Structure 1
Amino acid sequence: MDLSHTRRARTRSLHARLTPVAISLLAIWAGHARAQTTPSATPPSGTSSAASTTGSAGGDNVLPAVTVTSQADATTEGSGSYAASSATIAGQTAQPLKEIPNSVSVVTRQRMDDQNMTRIQDALLYVTGVEALNYGDGTAYYKSRGNYLGIEFDGVSVVSGLQYQTQFDLAMYDRVEVFRGPEGVMTGAADPTTPGGTVNLVRKRPLDTFHISTETQVDTFGSVRQMVDVTGPLNQDGSLRGRAVIVGSDGLKSVDGVREKTFMAYGALDYDINPRTTLAFSAAYEVDPVSGFDYGIGGTPEGTRLPSSYSQNFSPSWNYSYTSLAEANLNLTHKFENDWKSQTTVFYRHELQSSDYAYSGPGVSANGLASYGDQAQRNTYDWFGADTNVSGPIHLFGQDHTFTIGANYSLLTQTEESGFVSLNGPFDGGTYNVFDPDSVPQVNVPFTFASNIRTEQYGVYAQGRIHLAKPLTLVLGARETFFNEESQNVLPTVSNWTTDTRMNGRFIPSAALVYDIVPWLSAYASYSKVFSPQTATTFSGGALPPATGEQFETGLKGSFLNGRLGATAALFRINTNNVAIDDPNNPTGSIAGGGARNEGFEVEVTGEPLPNWNLYAGYTYLNQDFENQTANYSDGTDPKHLFKLWTTYRLSQGFLNGVTVGGGMLAQSQITRGVEQGGYAIFNAQVGYRFNKHVDASLSLNNIFNREYYVRPPGTFFSEFGDRRNLMLTVRTDF
């Protein structure tokens, strides 16, 4: 069995046709000439005077204040809060969360630190409505509202950059923004089935004051991790600022015999060409070797799990994979005197994946026998992305309106090489005991299949926030997009390049209304359309029509306590059609027979209800209805109920001054993926102490009651255990 196509979740783009509405927006912008605004005494939006990372207090129990003056308007570093005032994911410029007519969550730097999040899996696991499903080899796949997620890097969308792909250590990021539901107007990218949303990873930027921090972590699995972060001005006037982050880790895992090592280096420079123009450059490099990794085993023929400990490794100790990542990002931002802003970002990432491993075949007998196969893979990926846009206000009919106009381009070129050797026949069963996986021999596996794939998408977009009246805003979006994917077989023979799918110009609209009920509460209703090209073909080789979809969403958003606490509630429905499913009459072909309705509601509360108290809580109800119940595209991992909670409270009085207590939980209802996984809840606790303004430490107990569960229950192939109870000590310094 070739896993290369399984590990790839190639994201398809959404395409649109430029309408007279978008043309009108261009004409309005081109003809706009607004007088220079009166200078304000308030700091620019990109400047924030940030409190300590543990909240505000006096004396020696706080970190020194960190002033953030980078161009990242929505920066969360140093805020000490779980609440974000704005996000950049819904329009390329920072917008207040209360004014975005969609469900958006932000994992701030403070929450990443408090929950000891070091991987993107850790962060997305604690985002409302999102599933983060580990895949055994250190990667994972991610879903929301029953569909897969796409990704942006600092607002630049790339194809197939998230699912089953290694990501950089979170130490280089300021925040993780998650937009749930279709977001194709700006990004253009869509999942091969239907989009569940978009993740935007936003990098840390250099600060204008010197600052150094370190983080040391050890846990009871035997893992050690060290991080050092240095930033500050590089010249006398502070126009040149720099930042460097280095991470090294050597980690053992909950599953016996798995060892992951990581080394990451990140560097960033910001240069103010003049007071209104900033050039920013960043680069990063990471290597991730993993030994002894395990994909798990499938279920028994009776549809039950094989009795075993939840730390059992079912793969040989010689399993090995190596991943290297290298990327660069260049951004030029200019702020005009009339409050308009232009920005252009160019992004490049290279990834190498190489692995040699054995895994068990379909199913396992009741006495623990399963066939095994040896597999070798070598995949290379090169992503290039670019986005340029202008945005700003226009004053018409007594109201201020905001418009964004831009264009973007994304290119993915990849080479996938793989080979497979079946031990004792093509998975014909009963060969090795899964409780003695080291008896599986390591054999030479030549590459027998290889292909080159090139995926390209580009388009222009426009979005307008039109204030119809003082409490009512109309948000319109449009995108004209183009998509092309072609491939070439290299092994066993070299073939000509062929076009797998092409879409020349497709109009993708979105529309929403936002009504400010009172200054701290708004109501919204939104509609968005999805078109997704498909590479699957019919039995005779014919092309399938694009998958189509639409989302309807309505909700309430509130901002309380001067922005320290935010709350949202949303109802959503996503309809999809023409999704490729297996042809029931021809096993090697597909038909456009998949239709589904995913609907439900979400509630989220995040921020600081009281001084020194940080809180995050999110609940999602999801109901799925498939047109073809015997051939739906769900993998069975979508729970109907999903609840997440994390909170900390810092004591500031008496002899307990400097002590922090916290904890949280993750609970979900039953899921079925071949084998049924019953509902479960995982509880975590934490206690910390600040020794002085420079040093603090925390002790975290995860999975307090040592609940045994599957993150991904056994199917025909594979399964993934959840982490057992473990203890982590974290020591941070800050100067």
Structure 2
Amino acid sequence: MTEHSYSLTTQPAGPRARLSALALACRLAPFALLLAPGAGFAQQTDDPLVLDPVDVTAERAAVPNVTERSDSYTIGATSTATRLDLAPRETPQTAITLTREQLEDFNLTNATSALQAAGVNVQRVETDRTYYSVRGFDVSNFQIDGIGLPFSSEEQLGDIDTFLYDHIEVLKGANGLTANPGNPAATVNFVRKRPTRDFQAEAALSYGSWDTVRGELDVSGPLDEAGRIRGRVLAVQQDGDSYLDRYSLEKTVFSAMLEADLNDRNTALFGYSEQRNRPNGIMWGALSVYDSEGDPIDYSRSKSFAPDWAYWDTKDKQAFAELTSWLGGGWQSRVSLNYREISSDAEQFLAYGVPDADTGAGLFTYASKYDRIERQLLGDAYLKGPFQLFGRTHEAVVGTNWSRSTTRWSSYDDAFNIPLPAGFDGDYPRPDFDNGLTSGADYTTYRRSVYGAGHFSVTDRLKLILGANHTRLDSSGYQTGDEHSYAESKTTPYAGVTYDFGGHYSAYASYTKIFSPQHLLGADLTLLDPIEGDSVEGGVKGEWFEGRLNASAGVFRTEQENTPEYGGFDSGAGVSYYNTVDAISKGYELTLAGQITDNWEASAGFTHLFSLEDKEGRTVRTYVPRNYLYVASTYQVPQVRGLEVGGSLIWQDDTSREQGATAAGETIVTRQDAYAVVNAMASYDIDEHFNVALNVNNLFDEEYYTSLYWEQTYYAAPRNATVTLTWAY
């Protein structure tokens, strides 16, 4: 629920003082009327009662939707869809929020585990590269505090740590208004923790399977007596091995922020964050899972082809600043500037091929020394607030954003096509990588956008959202020796409507266009054509207990041209290439999130695809599940004060991938049967400051592939557990 704060004064009040002023005025008003001369019922007078005029002003709080320490699985309002603060019931699309409470309850410390709990299908193709899909399409729109990240590297996003974020918003369906380029799957918005006006501190130490140790520290509060200057420092150190042979990961995360009230109307924020991943024994590619007869190969779940010298180090540095201004009359502006630098350094080893069904031979080598750096400069400015029209109050937002993204990478390859012995176990000497540059890229992409939207109160029940985004995208440079260049301009409209009925329910519908230039390469190693299409969604939403419980049921249809599908690996150029299909996705989605009773919190959702086909009616993207269910729930046991227990479930139906044909011409199909992964948790408050928690993942030790997105894959983690001790003040 969007927070509103008020001030009974003829001068603008600071954000901190407004709420207390309103509360005091409401409490004293009845007594003031009773004590006023002539106001008592026993006294009558012919003179009318005249009160001095009172000026009531309304301002939105700077950060109205903070979920940490809220004990809630839902949120009051989000702005991912339109920049306007809309409650879930007011947003004409399916919107899911992973709150800080849910992230901590189930120990969801990285994006891979967290997004699974929001109905996002995770395609983990390698140990350190992950794709995400929603409603049959890949997710490419990622934001931090509502600012889009242009063409971000999926390998870093696959293990982005969640400790720095208050909550994660997942807006399903196309969003071409604030997240241009448009994408039909979803927009994922990571919302940062921010400095707090009151002092608070938290430290945690955890130990888990495969000797995984993690320490966390979070300190926040005022830096001066008046609380006008506030700071926050967050840090994470994690180190551990893995169920996979030879794989280990060391991760360091740090963030520092300073927030200052420049005056009663302006607040500035400055910050810096950094995440370093140091994995060893990484997979590049995975396991060949079928033999020359097309039969599946039986591996142990720890099997990896990666040698111990392989690594893929990444560093993600971000510097950010913003100025938020309260302009009076409910109007607010924000100007943001972000700089992001993602760098990676890797030595990788690929074992590829199809083992012979009789001898087991048939795998070959490919090694690469890889360096990449991507520098992004992003700016965003918007103005939003209420206005009067035809005797009713409406809301509007107008804004602009721009970005410059420079990408450079180089690959030095070695150990080409050397046969590997049958039963290869990852034992291979490190090559010298002295053959010179094999391939590389150097290109710059500019994005310039203007956008605007209005939330129109047509009647008390009928609300209309209309908006548009006009974007120009320019890119120039080269990739794998060919020109990487395009110049595109596109206007993407957005329309949504909600209608309240029955006190607790709203019907909704929305429509938007899709447009997104691609940075992926086709089989001819040239850029794929831009993704284009449209998306429509409609349904019913419900809200109960003053917004503490929300639910939705919606149907959707998305048509998209030039949808990329992984085609293979070009060993000559050292890059993956993609084919395109024109796909139409139809289905429905159900969600529930929030407080069912005083002791019971839950978050759940189910997605069903009626069909995912091309324009000729042929089934496409068979590696994407047609049914996906997620449930997470916790219960505070009233008989044992401080005890909380819970569980979560991820279920998907069967998937498959055509892998080619045998020598006899029979089609080879790799299949993954339907599976369910159950996780459990228990937490106990030792006292008001200390808590101990146990999390068990894959409780019933389900065995399944991580993905069929590529022709190679590997097994997901077996049952594992983590114990965490937390101190909070």
TM-score (norm: length of structure 1): 0.84
Q: Which amino acid aligns with 2:230?
A: R
Answer yes or no: is the 8 Å Cα contact 1:348–1:383 preserved in 2: yes
> Which position in structure 2 is the counterpart of 1:236?
225
> Which position in structure 2 is the counterpart of 1:465?
455
Counterpart selection for 1:201 from 185, 190, 194: 190
Answer yes or no: is the 8 Å Cα contact 2:105–2:681 preserved in 1: no
> Which position in structure 2 is the counterpart of 1:132?
122
Once the two structures are overlaid, the 10-residue window that deviates more, 301-310 or 656-665, is: 301-310
Provide Cα deviations, 1:390-441, integer angstroms capped at 9, x if missing partner.
001111112111100000112210101012224445xxxx523354211455
Counterpart selection for 2:504 from 508, 520, 529: 520
Counterpart check, 1:664 vs 2:648: yes
User: Aligned residues: percent identity?
Assistant: 26
Counterpart selection for 2:690 from 692, 695, 708: 695
Tell me the distance in 2 between the aligned counterparts of 1:732 and 1:616.
24
Tell me the distance in 2 between the aligned counterparts of 1:322 and 1:127.
28
Give 1:342 shift. 0.5
Counterpart check, 1:680 vs 2:670: no
Correspondence 1:113-512 to 2 at 5 A? 113-128=104-119, 130-149=120-139, 150-161=141-152, 163-166=154-157, 168-190=160-182, 194-294=183-283, 295-300=285-290, 301-366=292-357, 367-369=359-361, 370-424=363-417, 430-439=419-428, 441-444=430-433, 446-488=436-478, 498=483, 500-503=485-488, 505-512=489-496
Give 1:720 shift. 3.0
Tell me the distance in 2 between the aligned counterparts of 1:558 and 1:43.
33
Counterpart check, 1:730 vs 2:714: no
Counterpart selection for 2:602 from 606, 615, 620: 615
Answer yes or no: is the 8 Å Cα contact 2:256–2:272 preserved in 1: yes
Tell me the distance in 1 between the aligned counterparts of 2:18 and 2:105.
29
- Alpha-carbon spacing, 1:70–1:216, altered in 2? closer, same or farther (3 Å): farther
Q: Which amino acid aligns with 2:239?
A: D
> Which position in structure 2 is the counterpart of 1:59?
none
- Alpha-carbon spacing, 1:335–1:45, altered in 2? closer, same or farther (3 Å): farther
> Which position in structure 2 is the counterpart of 1:704?
699
> Which position in structure 2 is the counterpart of 1:627?
614
> Which position in structure 2 is the counterpart of 1:82?
73
- Alpha-carbon spacing, 1:543–1:88, altered in 2? closer, same or farther (3 Å): closer
Q: Which amino acid aligns with 1:663?
A: G
Q: Which has the higher contact order (CA 8 A, sep 6+)?
A: 1
Counterpart selection for 2:715 from 710, 714, 721: 721
Q: Which amino acid aligns with 1:170?
A: T
Tell me the distance in 1 between the aligned counterparts of 2:19 and 2:176.
27
Provide Cα deviations, 1:287-309, integer angstroms capped at 9, x if missing partner.
11100122421232344431111
Give 1:44 shift. 6.1
Answer yes or no: is the 8 Å Cα contact 1:466–1:475 preserved in 2: yes
Tell me the distance in 2 between the aligned counterparts of 1:686 and 1:131.
22
Q: Report the secondary structure of 1:111's partner residue.
A: helix
Provide Cα deviations, 1:643-683, integer angstroms capped at 9, x if missing partner.
11111111233xx2222111111111001134110000111
Q: Which amino acid aligns with 2:440?
A: A
Give 1:41 shift. 12
Counterpart check, 1:604 vs 2:595: no
Q: Report the secondary structure of 2:177's partner residue.
A: helix
Tell me the distance in 1 between the aligned counterparts of 2:620 and 2:332.
43
Give 1:345 shift. 0.8
Provide Cα deviations, 1:182-207, integer angstroms capped at 9, x if missing partner.
111112124xxx53111111110001
Once the two structures are overlaid, the 10-residue window that deviates more, 92-101 or 177-186, is: 92-101
- Alpha-carbon spacing, 1:43–1:666, altered in 2? closer, same or farther (3 Å): farther
Tell me the distance in 2 between the aligned counterparts of 1:485 and 1:151.
20
Give 1:134 shift. 2.1
Tell me the distance in 1 between the aligned counterparts of 2:19 and 2:167.
17
Tell me the distance in 1 between the aligned counterparts of 2:628 and 2:377.
35
- Alpha-carbon spacing, 1:537–1:347, altered in 2? closer, same or farther (3 Å): closer
Correspondence 1:500-579 to 2 at 5 A? 500-503=485-488, 505-534=489-518, 546-579=530-563
Q: Which amino acid aligns with 1:343?
A: R
Larger radius of gyration between Structure 1 and Structure 2:
2
Q: Report the secondary structure of 1:164's partner residue.
A: helix
> Which position in structure 1 is the counterpart of 2:36?
none
Q: Which amino acid aligns with 2:408?
A: T
Q: Report the secondary structure of 1:165's partner residue.
A: helix
Provide Cα deviations, 1:482-508, integer angstroms capped at 9, x if missing partner.
01111236x88xx9xx562211x3221
> Which position in structure 2 is the counterpart of 1:637?
623
Answer yes or no: is the 8 Å Cα contact 2:309–2:430 preserved in 1: no
Provide Cα deviations, 1:693-732, integer angstroms capped at 9, x if missing partner.
000111122111111111214843x313211001110111
Give 1:264 shift. 1.2
| 5+ residue gaps, structure 1 | 1-34, 50-68
Q: Which amino acid aligns with 1:275?
A: D
Tell me the distance in 2 between the aligned counterparts of 1:610 and 1:363.
55
Answer yes or no: is the 8 Å Cα contact 2:123–2:709 preserved in 1: no
Tell me the distance in 1 between the aligned counterparts of 2:288 and 2:61.
50
Once the two structures are overlaid, the 10-residue window that deviates more, 153-162 or 604-613, is: 153-162
Answer yes or no: is the 8 Å Cα contact 1:318–1:442 preserved in 2: no
Q: Which amino acid aligns with 2:673?
A: G
Tell me the distance in 2 between the aligned counterparts of 1:345 and 1:174.
19
- Alpha-carbon spacing, 1:36–1:456, altered in 2? closer, same or farther (3 Å): farther
Q: Which amino acid aligns with 2:313?
A: Y
Answer yes or no: is the 8 Å Cα contact 2:412–2:433 preserved in 1: no
- Alpha-carbon spacing, 1:431–1:632, altered in 2? closer, same or farther (3 Å): farther
Answer yes or no: is the 8 Å Cα contact 2:259–2:269 preserved in 1: yes
- Alpha-carbon spacing, 1:218–1:160, altered in 2? closer, same or farther (3 Å): same
Tell me the distance in 1 between the aligned counterparts of 2:151 and 2:268.
28
Provide Cα deviations, 1:262-302, integer angstroms capped at 9, x if missing partner.
11111011100112210011111121110012242123234
Tell me the distance in 2 between the aligned counterparts of 1:346 and 1:41.
23
Give 1:209 shift. 1.1
Answer yes or no: is the 8 Å Cα contact 2:642–2:685 preserved in 1: yes
> Which position in structure 1 is the counterpart of 2:35?
none
Answer yes or no: is the 8 Å Cα contact 2:584–2:615 preserved in 1: no
Q: Report the secondary structure of 1:175's partner residue.
A: strand
Give 1:525 shift. 0.9
Note the aligned Cα RMSD (angstroms): 3.2
- Alpha-carbon spacing, 1:313–1:346, altered in 2? closer, same or farther (3 Å): same
Tell me the distance in 1 between the aligned counterparts of 2:245 and 2:520.
39
Answer yes or no: is the 8 Å Cα contact 1:703–1:724 preserved in 2: yes
Q: Which amino acid aligns with 2:485?
A: D
Give 1:632 shift. 8.2
| 5+ residue gaps, structure 2 | 1-8, 24-59, 660-669
Answer yes or no: is the 8 Å Cα contact 1:374–1:443 preserved in 2: no
Tell me the distance in 2 between the aligned counterparts of 1:71 and 1:184.
25
Tell me the distance in 2 between the aligned counterparts of 1:624 and 1:347.
40
Q: Report the secondary structure of 1:343's partner residue.
A: strand
Answer yes or no: is the 8 Å Cα contact 1:74–1:88 preserved in 2: no
Q: Report the secondary structure of 1:438's partner residue.
A: coil
